Chains A and B, each alone.
Chain A
């Protein structure tokens, strides 16, 4: 009997803040550091505002991203204008960094799909709620880029729970087979509603799942925005050359799954408190102080961000609700006769 090792692989973790990797500081423009902080603060304030609006009945359900700002803003900071973004459902901070207007983001959370109109100008797909299924769109877009011999890439968000879905695995497999220009960005926030990562998978890391499909996997400290940027930049460079990458961002969901959830039923408050210490906003603020970028203007920005968010929320709340006609718009490119008839019948019944 003979045995030999036919495969072995390893996963590397990227951290930047407070490590040797940061020796070449500054590796982005000073203004960019400041802008990143501002965006993180806006995203944080958006989250807080949306929560309040939900409690007041202005929003039906909201999925908070608190604690994941570094993941989303860092990843999208690395993404170019010609690249594409595929969101899952908790990517409000990513939409903000991508340039979606705050009032439009509120508009969608307030139940009006028109909030998603205009995303095509940003090469960004609308929110995909069914967990993990959007990964195949990330794969398909990346395949299309390879087929067209374009030099751009697509970054698709997904979460730890989604790595159990078949579509996630099919997406990695297709990407590997067709040299897709795809980066799969998994925010491992440790919980899929109530299911902890330890029971979601027996894999030691999520990044290692890439190796089974012959593509690269890396892990980044997801609460270190600079690690996220470094890891994503490296991944995108590979993807643009037809080498897809799976990034696992190690982070934590500081809030409930959604406003309909009560996470005290399934996790210890102490764990949450422990992760609060690693709050990405707090860490980045400390970092900016250490590197003497921090100043009064940034100190005062929290209030400014709050005003921006309040103003956007007010604009969204003052928007007219969509008209009756819009119920039937965009189901098909040209409305079938069947729907035209149904529409007129319903119009009569609802007196519109």
Chain B
């Protein structure tokens, strides 16, 4: 087994190993060079690989994504960093209308093997725009993969896999749990995209959660007197609905926990898929615990906004007692 790492260390290790393995992999974004990124995800990479392979850019998110498309077309495999996902909307256009369409537009002549990393999610008492959960936006941009790890091992293996993909990948990192816990990371472990992880098996209810919400889900499952199966889809789009549906067929009940606002959140899609495929096995409507349909507040209000263990437990109780 490997060394113990937290999520941010695992991200750093994945970048280092992938840059070592493939000289076409380059890492760039705001403050990622000498400074190692504001969260230190790229710490030491410039020193090790030089300024041409890891560098800081002018402050322009669309510029970072758009130039990375050009670099990709010339044979590079860029891993770009958006300093916070709430600033990534400036790059959204390049990602959605160009990165994700170049292959189909050219009927397979060109590809954009670009990975856009961004810390996402709330709960760290940060400034406005620094706590967003934009996974649903990116999941509605056909042609990209949207990946969210929840553990150091997955952060390592999924990031390496994402960088190796010949399609664009949006890789959202749960910054609340960047340094929350360490686990042993096996650097040889490979993980596929579009493959859910069963976090824990159970027979009474299926709980789907990703990113920092997986920890909340585990805490809620510990607290409640029921046998909870927790599934972390890991790839938000294209999602492995199969594993979730099979689980619900077994348990007959489902709850989805995410920290993005409820309306239009990806929980709605999961809920629909469950009902399309497992309605005859269901004992209760699908329950969703999510943020309210309001903008992420300044941090004095964030404890009301962020789904927490208490709300997750209540959600589980509702779906179990229906």
Contact = CB atoms under 8 A, between A and B. Distances in A.
B104 A331 contact: yes
B97 interface: yes
Interface string A131-151: 001111111111111011000
A202 B58 CA distance: 26
A77 interface: no
B213 to A, nearest CB: 22
A136 B143 contact: no
A117 B109 contact: yes
B320 interface: no
A174 interface: yes
A60 interface: no
Contact of B98 (A118, A137, A166, A339): A137
Interface residues of A, number: 44
A136 B74 contact: no
A170 B104 contact: no
A333 to B, nearest CB: 5
Contacts of B63: 136, 139, 167, 170-171, 173-174
A113 B94 CA distance: 20
**Which of the four size classes fits the interface of chain B?**
35 or more
A116 B105 contact: yes
Interface in A120-168: 120, 125-128, 130, 133-145, 147-148, 154, 166-167
A126 B73 CA distance: 12
Contact of A120 (B57, B109, B167, B242): B109
A350 interface: no
Interface string A314-333: 00000000000000011111
Interface of A: 113-114, 116-120, 125-128, 130, 133-145, 147-148, 154, 166-167, 170-171, 173-174, 177, 329-333, 336-339
Given A118-B109, A174-B60, A329-B104, 5 more contacts: A113-B105, A136-B69, A138-B70, A139-B70, A142-B70
21 contacts: A119-B109, A127-B105, A133-B66, A133-B98, A134-B98, A140-B73, A144-B71, A144-B74, A147-B52, A166-B62, A170-B66, A171-B63, A173-B58, A174-B58, A329-B108, A332-B103, A332-B145, A333-B167, A337-B238, A338-B238, A338-B239
Kindly list the 8 A-B residue pairs having the minimum CB-CB distance in the complex, ordered from nearest. Answer: A140-B70, A136-B66, A170-B63, A144-B74, A140-B67, A336-B238, A120-B109, A338-B238
